[in-house]
Amino acid sequence: MRSLRLNHILDIKHIIQKSIMKIPVEYLPVMPYLILKDSKGFLKFAKEIFDASEQMIVPAEDGSIMHGELKIFDAVIMFAQANETWHEKSAGMYIYLEDVNHVYSKAISHGSKSLMLPDKKEYGYTAGFEDPFGNQWWIVEGEK
């Protein structure tokens, strides 16, 4: 019961902060922005591995992605194609999931490199992998 109250308080606090800062409803205060050598490949990977949905895709004149936005649950990941002006910038991401084994297996079968086999830790059941685009993903199931 206490955690439900805490979640409710945090939800209210989040709504108030977003309205004060005038953050659009589809965004969060902090979001990663990846610059990738293969933005279209990343888009396909994220959809297949995380069941991500497209929030916005702005194509460039050359057919690459000038600006993209994906949603994984409530999280937004922005990304774009690397070019002469904007050099590749990957990142590390920590994400809570419902099924670490399933996502880890899919990622490895789609060309990711294992960083940490699924294992029970003090903070939950977790694993890590590096995707084919240089991003590191630390995936976690919360305590059950």
Into how many domains does the chain fold?
2
Residues 23 and 44 in one domain: no
How large a percentage of the chain has pLDDT more than 70? 85
Residues 25 and 41 in one domain: no
Amino acid letter, residue 13: K
Residues 21 and 75 in one domain: no
Q: Which strands make up the sheet holding 136-141, listed edge to edge?
A: 92-96, 136-141, 124-130, 113-121
**89 DSSP 8-state letter:** B
Residues 57 and 6 in one domain: no
What's the whole-model pTM score?
0.82
Residues 46 and 72 in one domain: yes
Alpha-carbon span 130 to 95, nearest angstrom = 13
At residue 2, the pLDDT reads 44
At residue 142, the pLDDT reads 79
How confident is the model over 9-23, as a mean pLDDT?
Answer: 60
For residue 59, the enclosing domain spans: 31-141
Above 90 in pLDDT, residue 111?
yes
How confident is the model over 81-110, as a mean pLDDT?
Answer: 96
pLDDT one-digit tens code per residue, 42-68 = 999 999 999 999 999 999 999 999 999
Residues 50 and 95 in one domain: yes
Residues 25 and 35 in one domain: no
